[in-house]
């Protein structure tokens, strides 16, 4: 290990040679002027869309760079995208992949109030023992019904039977 360190020490001494490499004399006297004149000529006004992408999403810039430097990658990427699309279409068209109807699933587990109960003259019967109100709204129909005082079902007096018989016989 010590031998290795000594070798690294020699290597670092050798690398110091790089510090003595200098550009042509006077090079830095005009460097900043060149940069500023390029900026003033309009190069610095706005970033291109590609550069904005590179700043905001480096991973996307990296991907674009990869496509540029290795053309084979873009072919593979496009192929995998097409395969994923085809798989998606096949899965979506399979009949057994359709989701079950939520109302059907509810009917399997709990008895739905019959239509007769709704059309019955005795509307108090709408409030079933199961606590489910038949409604066209699938959300409210699943809400347990409680009365104002927390008594589920039963005739509490808040519900009154409607009568369709004429009040008077006309006599």
Partner 1 sequence: MSEPNPIIDPNTPAGMLEGDLVKQARRGDFAAYDELVKRYQQRIYATIYHMTSNHEDANDLAQESFIKAFQALPSFKGGSTFYTWLYRIAVNKTINFLKQRKNRQHMSLNDLDFNAEHDPDLMALISDKTPVREVGLTELQQKLNEALLKLSEPHRMVVVLHDVQGVSHDEIAEMMNCNIGTVRSRLFYARQQLQGFLAEYINPA
Nearer to partner 1, 16 or 100 (CB): 16
Question: Which range, of 63-71, 104-112, 121-129, 146-154, touches partner 1 by CB under 8 A?
Answer: 63-71
The minimum distance between CB 77 and partner 1, in angstroms, equals 18
Q: Looking at 2, 34, 59, 101, which residue binds partner 1 (CB under 8 A)?
A: 34
Contact criterion met (CB below 8 Å) for 149 and 122: no
CB of 6 to partner 1, least distance (A): 9
Give the range of 36-44, 72-80, 140-148, 153-161 binding partner 1 by CB under 8 A: 36-44
Calpha distance 85→91 (Å, rounded):
10
**Please, what is the minimum distance in Å from the beta carbon of residue 54 to partner 1?**
9
Cα 110 to Cα 93: distance, rounded to the nearest angstrom:
31
> What span, in angstroms and rounded, lies between the C-alpha atoms of 12 and 6?
10
Task: Give CA 35 to chain center in angstroms.
Answer: 45
Nearest by Cα to 145 from 159, 128, 161, 157: 128
- Contact segment (CB under 8 A) with partner 1 among 14-22, 74-82, 103-111, 120-128 equals 14-22
Options 17-25, 77-85, 125-133, 134-142: segment touching partner 1 (CB under 8 A)? 17-25
Contact between 49 and partner 1 (CB under 8 A)? no
Q: Cα–Cα distance between 99 and 85 in angstroms, integer?
A: 21
Distance between CA 81 and CA 38 in Å, rounded?
A: 42
How far apart, in Å, are the Cα atoms of 74 and each of 57, 64, 120?
19, 9, 69
- Interaction between residue 2 and partner 1 (CB under 8 A): no
Q: Give the footprint of partner 1 on this chain (CB under 8 A).
A: 7-8, 10-24, 28, 31-36, 38-40, 43-47, 51, 55, 65, 68-69
């Amino acid at each position: 290990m010590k031998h290795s360190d000594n070798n690294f020490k020699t290597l670092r001494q050798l690398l110091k040679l790089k510090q003595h490499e200098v550009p042509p004399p006077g090079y830095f006297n005009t460097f900043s002027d060149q940069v500023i004149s390029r900026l003033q000529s309009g190069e610095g006004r706005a970033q291109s869309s590609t550069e904005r992408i590179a700043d905001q999403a480096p991973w996307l810039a990296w991907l674009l760079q990869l496509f540029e430097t290795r053309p084979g990658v873009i072919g593979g990427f496009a192929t995998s995208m097409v395969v994923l699309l085809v798989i998606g279409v096949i899965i979506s068209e399979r009949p057994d992949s359709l989701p079950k109807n939520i109302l059907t699933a509810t009917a399997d587990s709990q008895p739905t109030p019959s239509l007769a109960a709704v059309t019955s003259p005795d509307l108090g019967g709408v409030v079933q023992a199961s606590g489910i109100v038949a409604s066209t709204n699938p959300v409210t129909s699943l809400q347990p019904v409680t009365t104002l005082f927390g008594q589920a079902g039963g005739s509490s007096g808040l519900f009154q039977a409607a009568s369709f018989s004429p009040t008077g016989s006309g006599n």
